[in-house]
Homo-oligomer: A and B are copies of this chain.
Amino acid sequence: MPDVKFFILFCASLFLNLFFFSYHFLSTPLPPPRRPRPPGGGLTWTRRAAEEAEAVAAVSCSGHGRAYIDGVSARGHPVCECNTCYAGADCSLLKSNCAADADSGDPLFLEPYWMRHSAKSAVVVSGWHRMSYLTNNGFISVELERHIRALHRAVGNAVEEDKFIVFGSGCTQLINALVYALSPDNATTPASVVATAPYYPLYKAQTNLFDGREYEWKGITSKWINSSVVSTKNFIEFVTSPNNPDGLLHKSVLGVKSVIYDHAYYWPHFSAIPAPADEDVMLFSGSKTSGHASSRFGWALIKDEKVYDKVVQYMKVNTMGVSRDTQLRVLKLIKVILGEMGGGGDIFEFGYKALKNRWRKLNEIVSWSNRFSLQQIDPQYCTYFSKMRDPSPAYAWVKCEFEEDVDCAKVLKEAGIISRRGTLFEASSRYTRLSLIKTEDDFDLLLRKMVAVVSENGVSSI
């Protein structure tokens, strides 16, 4: 008996050994003792800024607003800044009788994209980051230029290889810089600056504001086509393609030498990309590429070296280049765009889907009556998506069809919708522009108001 007991004990001991042995050598190894991830937990001088940013980002604003680290504080904590028509400490209250604001081209439809990609797109600016007037490339970040060129190649929307690049505080600043650069130095008559209606109002506003002796705003191209009296040799023509307000692709009408192609909207979220643009002077806007209107960043691709030199000189004298803080941030954003392109986080896919849906919904509502019509944009083959794509314009160019509705912006205003009146684009007051690129809240409210105005006026009152 004792032998049997002993044998059982021995077996138990062997079994235990087997268990320990297999546990120790065969089980999934425990992770090695975690050395504080060298930079991670060991953060030093960035910790405070990181904690501050996370604390502010964690403030709940009910999905209808957000707190910013430079926001106005209440008791030391930044408060929610609510979307239009929302109020309350946490933006949860929808104001009654609040007009749907579809006026500005504020590209907040891309805000959710950046919230989803917050870890990759954040950037720490140290107090001593690039304090000098100059980088090792004048006013321009070498890396940012390199990444912008890579972006154009990856998207296929512009030929950059044989062009110079200049940065501006928004493509806004580059408008006059290019007018200046394309104007003759010592002309007896100033250059005539023109655009085709409906056109982006800032071309005229800026040309008139600066009112330089070397150029002059001369209105819309239709006045000058086939003009037998005036030579168009000394003309500077703005061509916006896709056009703001109507999203159509355009070419020069006058066929003059000096054409400024504004391609701010020539990106796959707004437009089909049939082929890379390859004009001598092209403008692009960070605001419409990544959605960061506030950063005031844009760039020009310029073929001719003399024109480029004049623009560089203008930028130097006007503002000594573009904020390097902005260039740092834009670099990070473009890195994310490039890194996510073609995958599940493709910003152009994201933006295209959002705007396509908005366009489809608005068209459906408008089709319920014959009071309004929208511009016609056909599906078109897009080299970026390698397929036919539906329209997804940044703006709806609305026409009031009832004979008595001569002031379309006013008609919409009375229906609680703020639009941008057609006359600002030098078009008929029968037209008005609705922005489709603002927040989801703005668009939802716009739709609701449109449903109401279309339902009320189902058929022509005439």
Q: Which residues of A contact B (CB under 8 A)?
A: 6, 9-10, 13-14, 16-17, 20-21, 23-24, 30-31, 33-34, 36-37, 39-41, 43-55, 57, 66, 68-73, 81, 104, 106-108, 110-111, 114-115, 117-136, 141-144, 168-170, 172-173, 176, 180, 202, 205-206, 209-214, 287, 291-297, 313-314, 317-329, 331-333, 336
Contact = CB atoms under 8 A, between A and B. Distances in A.
Contacts of A141: 70
A276 to B, nearest CB: 27
Contacts of A41: 34, 36-37, 40-41
One complex includes copies of this chain to the number of: 2
Given A39-B51, A54-B44, A319-B296, A126 B133 contact: no
Contacts of A130: 68, 70, 294
Given A72-B143, A104-B133, A169-B296, 19 more contacts: A10-B10, A37-B41, A46-B119, A48-B119, A48-B122, A50-B124, A66-B128, A70-B130, A70-B144, A70-B327, A107-B131, A121-B126, A132-B293, A133-B293, A172-B318, A206-B318, A209-B313, A211-B213, A295-B324
Give the top 4 A-B pairs by smallest Cβ distance, nearest first. Answer: A121-B127, A20-B20, A39-B51, A53-B124
Contacts of A134: 104, 106
A128 B111 contact: yes
Contacts of A9: 10
B122 A122 contact: no
A142 B293 CA distance: 18
Contacts of A133: 104, 106, 287, 293-294
B119 A44 contact: yes
A55 B39 contact: yes
22 contacts: A20-B24, A30-B30, A30-B33, A36-B41, A39-B50, A43-B50, A45-B119, A47-B50, A49-B122, A53-B123, A70-B328, A111-B128, A120-B127, A121-B126, A122-B127, A123-B124, A124-B124, A133-B293, A170-B320, A173-B319, A295-B323, A297-B323
Nearest to A314: B209
A126 B325 contact: no
Nearest to A126: B122
Nearest to A109: B131
A53 B126 contact: yes
A165 to B, nearest CB: 16
Nearest to A17: B16
A420 B254 CA distance: 46
A450 to B, nearest CB: 23
Most central of A49, A73, A110, A205 by chain B CB within 10 Å? A49
Contact of A122 (B34, B45, B209): B45
A125 B123 contact: yes
B69 A118 contact: no
B127 A117 contact: yes
A326 B327 contact: no
A120 B51 CA distance: 12
Contacts of A332: 127
A174 B128 CA distance: 25
A166 B38 CA distance: 44
A6 B16 contact: no
A201 to B, nearest CB: 10
Which among A143, A212, A319 has the highest number of chain B CB atoms within 10 Å? A319
A10 B6 contact: yes
Contacts of A172: 317-320
A278 B144 CA distance: 42
Between A24, A69, A294, the greatest number of chain B beta carbons within 10 A of the residue's beta carbon is seen for: A294
